[in-house]
């Protein structure tokens, strides 16, 4: 067999490596290389930095913050509302994406780790109690049913918190929590004291260029 026979034709190559989502694709998924694919049907909320490709027919508008369920004039720093029918792909750069499914869960995430969420989720924004004037930490509360995506510097793991077993978590690795966890910032200590009942999400340091979380999927 000749060498040229083993080389695919350009049309064959192109249509064999399409980065377009299937019709039944989930609103959030990972490419084989771990980049985030955001599928918009109606409305999605997402960041647009690290954008690789985007459908031209998607409309974007600023997203107002919500405090305790009410919209307030301040524009959300990172998320925008995407409306229409199409998709976009966001680069993981030197970090890792983790799409997660909320099933009537109540979660809190550090704002700069949150990259996308479905419009079906209820959400608002606030500050970690005790962090104001010390090391301000903006949190997004997400609740209900739907998908969201986090992007973190390393492997995302969780620590179970129980009433009889509180933990300290370093501020640099703290991503958020699910359940009835009560984190408390302490002065002059780079740790959060976490008590209550639930699980705390932590980003472990290390190489983020290895295999993406959850395996490749489109």
Model pLDDT for residues 21-73, shown as the tens digit of each residue = 888 889 999 999 999 999 999 999 999 989 999 999 999 988 776 655 566 65
Q: H or E segment at 204?
A: strand 191-204
Model pLDDT for residues 144-192, shown as the tens digit of each residue: 999 999 999 999 999 999 999 999 999 999 999 999 999 998 778 899 9
Residue range 4-204, CATH number: 3.60.160.10
pTM for the full model? 0.84
Alpha carbons 122 and 130: distance in angstroms, whole number:
24
5 Cβ contact partners less than 8 Å away, ≥ 6 residues apart? none
- Each domain of the chain, given as residue ranges in start order, spans 4-204
């Amino acid at each position: 067999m000749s060498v040229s026979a083993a080389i695919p034709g350009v049309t064959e190559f192109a249509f064999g490596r399409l980065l377009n989502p299937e019709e039944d694709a989930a609103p959030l998924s990972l490419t084989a290389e771990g980049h985030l694919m955001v599928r918009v049907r109606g409305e999605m909320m997402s960041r647009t930095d690290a954008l690789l490709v985007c459908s031209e027919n998607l409309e974007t508008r600023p997203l107002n913050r919500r405090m305790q369920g009410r919209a307030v004039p301040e524009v959300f720093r990172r998320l925008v509302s995407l409306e229409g029918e199409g998709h976009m792909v966001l680069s993981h750069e030197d970090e890792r994406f983790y799409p997660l499914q909320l099933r009537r869960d109540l979660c809190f995430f550090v704002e700069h780790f949150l990259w996308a969420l479905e419009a079906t989720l209820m959400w608002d924004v606030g500050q970690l109690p005790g962090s104001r004037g010390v090391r301000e930490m903006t949190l997004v509360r997400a609740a209900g049913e739907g998908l969201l995506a986090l992007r973190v510097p390393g492997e995302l793991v969780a620590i179970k918190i129980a009433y009889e077993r509180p933990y300290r978590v370093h501020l640099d690795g703290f991503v958020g929590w699910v359940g009835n966890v009560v984190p408390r910032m302490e002065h002059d200590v780079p740790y959060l004291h976490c008590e209550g009942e639930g699980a705390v999400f932590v980003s472990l340091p290390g190489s983020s260029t290895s295999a993406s979380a959850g395996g490749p999927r489109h």
